């Protein structure tokens, strides 16, 4: 393939931390969101705390390849494995990456100078490291960021349909820890993760003009071109002052909260099913519901009309099942193509950032066989959405033929 960003080897690597495909950069995972770093700031110094096996590296390079990434992880084995993988699969990119073995709790002792973009992706199989809930930590991050810098945080926890930014949740505790230091926070939902985007300024950071070159494959080019649209719908978050000090960042506690909220979710979903004339379902029937386009679309459209977060269950489930059992999920793409115009009118922000974005995740996910449908979605978007005046800022972007 065309550039250093791709591998001609048939490479696919998947662990709980990392998903890497040789033939594409965007893979339908939260790590894709880090592309916003290069789009919101054209600077050349990026700091990544939480390298894993390097799934985020190429997302950070796609908007701007003239950068140097300093990547820190305390797991020496995965750090070394990442270095070797990159050397073998994307050899010319390795010169842009500085690998540091160390504890992100004290990252300022391991680096020199300030950064244009800092990405934080630090939860692991036990949950969040406790230091991310300390105000002092965010002051250290603030000090390491240039005045025009961008901070991106991957906050894992409750899925979008369980309202992760409402009530006492780990996401809110994290936001409260940094709210003394960073004044404005934007959020983008992504299945079980929410990406927080912060800067030192009070005004919303702008996406720089960019031009997609033939360094980028068509699939990635189409997705990259849609980031300005996604960003234009990013929410400014008001951080609630409820006391979240006792909310734990341990993974098992996050799962307990998820179970509690799941009961309410199922009750509300069942009310919507009943309103549409369908039978009540149990947890073990949810998968059948996801693979049943008639019930799934009817109920989701009703929930959208009622502005209920349970409407996000189907997009979240589609993006999740894409990894395990993608045959039978194609209906979701057809639903967008046929009903998208109506859905946008119900709630444009939800449509773009949740419903459409998980459709793109389904198509880019290397385990599905849907990537060939990207041109249908691209064509549809160009005709139905991107020609509207208010969205014309995305039009001047050139995409590869």
Ligand X SMILES: C[S@@+](CC[C@H](N)C(=O)[O-])C[C@H]1O[C@@H](n2cnc3c(N)ncnc32)[C@H](O)[C@@H]1O
The site for ligand X (CB under 6 A) is made up of: 17-18, 31, 50-56, 72-75, 78, 103-105, 121-124, 129
Q: CB 11 → ligand X: shortest distance, Å?
A: 14
How many whole angstroms separate alpha carbon 359 and alpha carbon 391? 20
What is the token pair recorded at 117?
């973009």
Q: CB 273 → ligand X: shortest distance, Å?
A: 35
SS3 content of the chain, % helix, strand, coil (to 5): 50, 15, 35
Q: Are 394 and 225 in contact (CB under 8 A)?
A: yes
Residue 31 vs 177, nearer CB to ligand X: 31
Residue 125 vs 372, nearer CB to ligand X: 125
Residues 6+ apart with CB under 8 A from 133: 173, 174, 177, 249
Which DSSP helix (H) or strand (E) runs through 147?
strand 145-156
Q: CB 294 → ligand X: shortest distance, Å?
A: 37
Backbone phi, psi, residue 328, to 5°: 105, 0
Q: CB 79 → ligand X: shortest distance, Å?
A: 8
Residue 30 vs 394, nearer CB to ligand X: 30
Q: Are 99 and 79 in contact (CB under 8 A)?
A: yes
How many whole angstroms separate alpha carbon 392 and alpha carbon 48? 33
Residue 35 vs 72, nearer CB to ligand X: 72
Complete edge-to-edge strand list for the sheet that includes strand 68-73: 97-101, 68-73, 45-49, 115-120, 145-156, 193-199, 184-190, 235-236
Q: CB 119 → ligand X: shortest distance, Å?
A: 7
Q: Which of 290, 296, 285, 257 lies closest to 163 in space, CA to CA? A: 257
Residue 5 vs 386, nearer CB to ligand X: 5
What is the token pair recorded at 53?
């096996």
Q: CB 20 → ligand X: shortest distance, Å?
A: 8
Q: CB 289 → ligand X: shortest distance, Å?
A: 30
Residue 85 vs 198, nearer CB to ligand X: 85
Residues 6+ apart with CB under 8 A from 388: none
Residue 79 vs 244, nearer CB to ligand X: 79
């Amino acid at each position: 393939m065309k550039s250093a960003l791709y591998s001609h080897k048939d490479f696919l690597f998947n662990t709980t931390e990392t998903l890497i495909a040789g033939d594409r950069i965007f893979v339908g995972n939260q790590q894709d969101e880090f592309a916003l770093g290069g789009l919101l700031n054209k600077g050349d110094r990026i700091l990544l705390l939480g390298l894993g096996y390097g799934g985020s590296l190429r997302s950070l390079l796609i908007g701007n390849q003239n950068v140097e990434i300093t990547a820190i992880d305390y797991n020496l084995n995965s750090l070394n494995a990442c270095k070797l993988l990159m050397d073998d699969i994307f050899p010319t990119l390795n010169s842009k990456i500085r690998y540091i073995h160390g504890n992100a709790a004290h990252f300022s002792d391991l680096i020199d100078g300030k950064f244009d973009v800092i990405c934080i992706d630090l939860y692991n199989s036990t949950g969040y490291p406790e230091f991310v809930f300390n105000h002092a930590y965010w002051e250290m991050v603030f000090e390491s960021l240039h005045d025009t810098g961008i901070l991106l945080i991957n906050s894992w926890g409750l899925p979008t349909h369980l309202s992760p930014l409402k009530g006492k949740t780990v996401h809110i505790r994290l936001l409260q820890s940094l709210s003394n230091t960073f004044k404005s926070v934007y959020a983008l939902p992504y299945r079980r993760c929410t990406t927080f985007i912060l800067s030192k300024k009070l005004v919303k950071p702008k996406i720089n003009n960019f031009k997609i070159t033939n360094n980028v494959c068509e699939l990635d080019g189409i997705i990259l071109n849609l980031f300005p649209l996604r960003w234009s719908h990013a929410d400014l978050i008001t951080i609630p002052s409820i006391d979240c000090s006792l909310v734990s960042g341990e993974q098992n506690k996050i799962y307990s909260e998820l179970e509690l909220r799941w009961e309410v979710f199922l009750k509300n979903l069942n009310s919507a099913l009943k309103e549409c004339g369908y039978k009540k379902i149990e947890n073990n029937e949810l998968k059948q519901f996801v693979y049943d386009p008639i019930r799934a679309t009817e109920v989701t459209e009703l929930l959208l009309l009622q502005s209920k977060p349970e409407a996000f269950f189907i997009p979240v489930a589609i993006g999740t099942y894409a990894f395990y059992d993608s045959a039978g999920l194609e209906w979701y793409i057809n639903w967008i193509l046929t009903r998208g115009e109506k859905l946008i009118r119900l709630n444009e922000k939800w449509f773009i950032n949740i419903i459409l974005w998980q459709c793109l995740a389904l198509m880019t996910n290397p385990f599905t066989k849907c990537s060939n449908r990207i041109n249908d979605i691209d064509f549809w978007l160009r005709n139905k959405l991107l020609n509207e005046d208010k969205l014309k800022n995305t039009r001047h972007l050139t995409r590869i033929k």
